[in-house]
Structure 1
Amino acid sequence: MPKKRTPNETWYKNIRPIIWKRDNGRCVNCGMKVSLKNSHIDHIVSGLKSDNKFRNLRTLCVRCHVLRLDINHRGMIQSAIRKNLIPADWRNFVWEE
């Protein structure tokens, strides 16, 4: 049975602000200050094994989120290249824990 998604109201009004504040409004990978609106709250473990427990969530900037080594993030690559968020040689900048 597929997992149920957290309702948008709960995610945007409760979970995102808590994680962003916990991480001091900074990307936990590169340390860049990022607004709540522009932050990406990332699942450390993603996919079917994922959950929304706070220990599994972290704040990332858009660039670090796109460049994170996670097969579930591949759909973001082309859009990020078009928007000049990442370079065409993005593979040189991929990171993992």
Structure 2
Amino acid sequence: MPKKRLPTETWYKNIRPIIWKRDKGKCVRCSVEVSLKECHIDHIRSGVFANNKLSNLRTLCYKCHVLRADIKHRGMVQRALKKGVIPPNWRELIWEDVKS
């Protein structure tokens, strides 16, 4: 997560809709359509060097968010397994951003 979190109201009423609309209501990884309510807005670069600039945010579906190779997302794995969102062999499906 970025060092400084935006107020919840700003995040949900302003930032999320902007990113979701920009990404045409689809997961930028797998192209599945996701509702604004269900989408995950992900920080492309997270951690200490992260920021909340629109260029550092993207829309992901729950499954792609869980399977992203980011140690900060590991807490989501157990919940996703219980819900059947990801298969038992989820480790084989982990993805990383290609650095350019």
The TM-score range, normalised by the shorter chain, is over 0.9
Equivalent residue, structure 2, for 1:12: 12
Please tell me the root mean square deviation across aligned C-alpha atoms, in Å. Answer: 1.1
CA distance in 1, matches of 2:4, 2:64: 26
Equivalent residue, structure 2, for 1:72: 72
Equivalent residue, structure 2, for 1:53: 53
Give the total of aligned pairs.
96
After superposition, give the CA deviation of every residue in 1:7-66 in whole Å (9 maximum; x if it has no partner). 000000000000000000000000000000000000000111111000000000000000
2:30 corresponds to which letter in structure 1? C
Equivalent residue, structure 2, for 1:86: 86
CA distance in 2, matches of 1:37, 1:87: 24
Normalising by the residue count of structure 2, what TM-score does the alignment of the two structures yield? 0.93
Matched, 1:3 2:16: no
CA distance in 2, matches of 1:56, 1:4: 14
Q: Is the 8 A contact 2:3 2:47 kept in 1?
A: no
| Greater relative contact order (Cα < 8 A, sep 6+) | 2
Q: SS of the counterpart of 2:75?
A: helix
Equivalent residue, structure 2, for 1:33: 33
Equivalent residue, structure 1, for 2:21: 21
Q: SS of the counterpart of 2:73?
A: helix
Structure with the higher fraction of residues in helix conformation: 1
CA distance in 1, matches of 2:14, 2:80: 27
